[in-house]
Structure 1
Amino acid sequence: MADETVSEAQFWDARYAQSDQIWSGNPNSVLVREAADLTPGTALDLGCGEGADAIWLAQRDWRVTAVDISRVALDRAAKHAATAGVRDRIDWQQYDLAASFPSGTFDLVSAQFLHSPGDLPRERILHTAASAVAPGGVLLIAGHTAFPTSEHSPHSEMRLPTPDEVIEDLDLPEGQWEVLVKEEHERVQTGPDGQLTTWKDGSVKVRRLG
């Protein structure tokens, strides 16, 4: 974050306030691919943004706790959920995950592109997320593993771990977890100017043994 006097919440509120919509409105492809066949239960969506993932889950009969640091994003997401007819299936909660974490356990904990240019302790948050997975439940993580080579990033100091590094950071107790997915893949994204950018992403899916 360029201005260290600005809090994470202020930064993201300002980012969301710049326009009526900053994300595509579609659920993340990793979530759609990896959660489509899971039995619906309770889900925790970390860094829910404008709510597309939470709404997709709710439409498939999940009970979702969706958290974000930005009140602007949460208010926008709640309106989208009402429009989609799933308002009663999602509990929107404001959290600074660097300071606190939702209570309880969940059948699915999803962290899709939980990155921030600010001081976000991502590894610690994901380690805590693993402890919030119920026996038999799944932790699903997707994130960038590298910035596009064609793009000069102002946040080049941001750590973008590989799936192997994510698994290592989670430090899962031996014999208590099963690694289901650990892979890297490329994703083409269309920017607001219509330019295509190829991102290298990684996904990790682990199940807590019951």
Structure 2
Amino acid sequence: MTDNIVAASPESPIPSPTDGYVGDPEVRAKWDDLYADRQQLWSGRPNGALVAEVAGLVPGRVLDVGCGEGADAVWLARGGWDVTALEVSGVALERAAGHARDAGVDVRWVHAALTEAALPPASFDLVSAQYPALLRTADGSAERALLSAVAVGGVLLLVHHAGMDTREANDNGFDPADYVWPSMVAALIDDDWVIEVDEERPRVVPDGGAGAHHTDDVVLRARRLR
């Protein structure tokens, strides 16, 4: 793919936070600071909606968008998937690569923003984006990047916390208008796709980790027909 991809195996070194990063340095710094503030930010378990929706799929090539500390990527690799995992935070990638090494699985790590990663189009049998913090642009570049990465016959699985898109901006700098939500991606889906799931459901809440207070998910699953 591109030179911002770092492979990790049980014998290989953990990628450096500065290895080939492609994207806005301010965004990287923001997420690095968030991860560096805690020894572990997330629960360390795969996301429940991912586990449920992948159950009936034949393992193939998967892109894990916003892989964080790598729980989903490691779980997918253990299940036989050929995993490429993308993340803006080098701190998170170091942890994720360490978890993959400990688990004895191979993952390709991409240190980049989704819209800057120059991933080969239509090349993934599954694109999984679990609660991604994708910045919204006037041209819908993040939404289109998600869709364009899916191979013909493949699936896009986008999961987010229900109700987040309608919240007011808060004093911590979070404004829903700045981010991409499942409804925005669904609005771009045309006759080349079929929507298999578009619903709100109770969330399988992990023990511990940031975000454990969210109780419901919005799940969008769409399959590319051509």
TM exceeding 0.5: yes
Structure 2 residue runs without a partner (length 5+)? 1-24
Aligned-partner Cα distance in 2 for 1:78–1:128: 24
Alignment of 1:40-55 (within 5 A): 40-55=59-74
Aligned-partner Cα distance in 2 for 1:70–1:64: 18
Q: Which runs of 4+ in 1 moved over 6 A?
A: none
Aligned to 2:108: 91
Q: 1:41 to 1:207 in 2, by over 3 A?
A: same
Shift of 1:133: 0.7
Aligned to 2:136: 121
Q: 1:30 to 1:20 in 2, by over 3 A?
A: same
Q: 1:162 to 1:184 in 2, by over 3 A?
A: farther
Aligned-partner Cα distance in 2 for 1:131–1:184: 25
**Identity level (%):** 42
Out of 88, 102, 106, the residue aligned to residue 124 of structure 2 is 106
Shift of 1:189: 6.2
Aligned to 2:160: 143
Partner SS, residue 25 of structure 1:
coil
Aligned-partner Cα distance in 1 for 2:36–2:212: 24
Aligned-partner Cα distance in 2 for 1:63–1:55: 10
The alignment's TM-score, normalised by the length of structure 1, stands at 0.81
Aligned to 1:38: 57
Shift of 1:190: 5.7
Aligned-partner Cα distance in 2 for 1:155–1:180: 34
**Matched letter for residue 52 of structure 1:** A
Shift of 1:100: 3.7
Contact 2:86–2:110, Cα closer than 8 Å, also in 1: yes
Shift of 1:177: 1.0
Aligned to 1:73: 92
Contact 1:164–1:182, Cα closer than 8 Å, also in 2: no
Aligned-partner Cα distance in 2 for 1:96–1:85: 26
Structure 1 residue runs without a partner (length 5+)? 1-5
Q: 1:196 to 1:51 in 2, by over 3 A?
A: closer
Structure with greater strand share of residues: 1
Contact 1:95–1:101, Cα closer than 8 Å, also in 2: no
Moved more, 55-64 or 123-132: 123-132
Out of 159, 172, 175, the residue aligned to residue 189 of structure 2 is 172
Contact 2:87–2:111, Cα closer than 8 Å, also in 1: yes
The alignment's TM-score, normalised by the length of structure 2, stands at 0.76
Spell out, residue by residue over 1:105-134, the C-alpha distance to the aligned partner (whole angstroms, 9 max, x if none): 100001110126xxx127531321111111
Moved more, 196-205 or 90-99: 196-205
Out of 152, 167, 186, the residue aligned to residue 202 of structure 2 is 186
- Structure with the bigger RCO (C-alpha within 8 Å, sep 6+) is 2
Partner SS, residue 132 of structure 2:
coil
Aligned to 1:13: 32
